[in-house]
Amino acid sequence: MSDEQKQSGYVADNENAEADTIFGSAPEQKQTSQKKGPSRSIRNLLIAVCLAVVVGAGLTAVLLVNRASAPDSGQTDTTDPAAENIKLNDADELNVKEVDIKGDSPFHVTRTVKGREDAPSEYVIEGFEGLALDDALLSTLAYNGSIFEAERLIEEQPDDLSRYGLAQPRADVTMSYDDGSQFRFQIGMDSPTESGKVYCAVDGNVYLIRNSLVANYCRTPEDYLSKTILPALAEGEVVIVKNLRVSREDLDEDIVLEYDEAAAESSDVGGTAATHIMTEPIFTYLNVEKSKDITNGMFGLTAQEVAVIHPEDADFARTGLDAPFCTVEMETGDGNKRVLTFGHSYQTDDGTTLYYMHLEGLDEIFGVSADNAKWLTFRPGDISSSNIFVTNVWNIGTLDITDKTHDFRFVGEGNKDNYTVTLNGKECDKERYRTLYRFLLYIYGEELYLGELPDGEPDAEVHLTTQNGKEDYTISFYRVSDLRTIVARDGQPGYVIRSSALDTLSYNLGIFDDTEKDFKTSWQ
């Protein structure tokens, strides 16, 4: 039996089952010779009946005592379950100018922008100016008080408000409207007999109110601080991250990601859909799934807690944000620049590891997890694509391929339907050319290489330009052993591949004019 059921005097049907069992378990009477006085079975039955009467009387007394102890026990509940609730305030939330809350955690809410039918009002908590607030949660203070209603009246003008927790209410709320009117109510204790209900006073009368309607008035002002560091983009909203730079103490060089307009404009870039590339510390295409939290992760970034409000110099020094371990700078196509800095790690009371973080322009320091801020730990190889070539074959204008024994220059024009190509100034088999380039697309980086390039000339080189002039790059191959070859783009090291890929490229160039022979596509 729940506490609520005990206090209301409720008794479950199965609690009387024991008394019923006495009758149900009485042995079947056998036919015997007549005796003076009642049989033993009959005597047992009479005793059981007497016991049941005594127990029933005791339960009745207990129920009456319990009912008398409940605060609203003196009220006869004649409420029709289908009846409408009692409207205590019916105002327009857009006209709420101020909400003043007194109690254990007093605070004052002021409207800064009056809303319209299609746009909500904006509010601020006094003393929290310049802080990111949970606007949706804050707006409930204007809305809930403006539709204030009770399930029923408990007592009119009671002499003893303490019975309802209203002598010293949890919150005393005054709502002020544009026309100068006010609406005031006090929040008392939870009803002991009805789950999810609380006693409230309006104009001296005590009502039973849904707890969900008044719970937010009992919060602390800190509860209204938003943990969203930068809002997520709205549906249909497009903001291009033009440049993202990550500086970290444990990195020898910054990591720089840039928007790749050529990739963004093309719907068929061979092998990758990422619209960003890495330009420092090396050039590499990005894996779209692995890189999206890095390139666009600031939008919708959420903290686990607000660690410090209105931080001063001493707070930045204490949290390590005066000399941050990690700095993330993001420039977007709308002209904004946002800077995140990360300081020391710390432990919460439940043992969770968080990092102090600050967004330039906000007057607070957040605590974020490493999972929510992947800039703290990622490496270039974690987000890079293994692709070395991604340009669509029909977009190529010139393709120069050279090695120790071959020197090919392909020139193409047109689109997929009418593309034509020449080799060293002569007509060329378009399908043969396409198959050779497809082999180049198959060459992939097996690991990133951040070291120095070998001395001397490359063992093979591919120079590619597109017809629209937006892509112009050179891929160089440096054989360092029979097993390893270093790949560079425009003189910048990038990958290590197997030297067998270089050998296969040379073989394919050697048989290009022999249409009876098929190109090799595998070198593993």
> Comparing C-alpha atoms, which of 508, 507, 385, 501 is closest to residue 443?
501
pLDDT band per the 50, 70, 90 thresholds, residue 46: very low
What are 316-347's pLDDT values in tens digits? 999 999 999 999 999 999 999 999 999 999 99
Query: How far is residue 368 from each of residues 156, 218, 236, 341, 371, measured CA to CA in Å?
Result: 50, 27, 28, 11, 8
**367 has pLDDT over 70:** yes
**102 has pLDDT over 50:** yes
- CA-derived radius of gyration, the chain: 39
pLDDT band per the 50, 70, 90 thresholds, residue 130: confident
Where are the strands (E) in 291-352, listed by range? 305-309, 326-332, 337-347
Q: What is the mean pLDDT of residues 362-371?
A: 93
Please state which of the ranges 94-98, 263-267, 384-388 shows the lowest mean pLDDT. Answer: 263-267
User: Contact at 8 Å (CB) between 169 and 186?
Assistant: yes
Tokens linked to 213: 């309607």
Please state which of the ranges 82-86, 113-117, 209-213, 368-372 shows the lowest mean pLDDT. Answer: 82-86
Over the chain, what is the mean pLDDT?
84
For the chain, the maximum distance between any two Cα atoms, rounded to a whole number of angstroms, is 134
Q: What is the mean pLDDT of residues 386-411?
A: 95
**458 has pLDDT over 90:** yes
pLDDT in the model for residue 266: 58
What are 262-298's pLDDT values in tens digits? 666 654 444 444 789 999 999 999 998 999 999 999 9
**Pairing of β 182-190 and β 197-202:** antiparallel
**393 has pLDDT over 70:** yes
pLDDT in the model for residue 277: 94
pLDDT in the model for residue 512: 95
Tokens linked to 370: 């490493």
Please state which of the ranges 118-132, 161-175, 243-257, 457-471 shows the lowest mean pLDDT. Answer: 118-132
User: Contact at 8 Å (CB) between 286 and 276?
Assistant: yes
Q: What is the mean pLDDT of residues 216-220?
A: 96
The Cα 147–Cα 92 span in angstroms is 8
**117 has pLDDT over 50:** yes
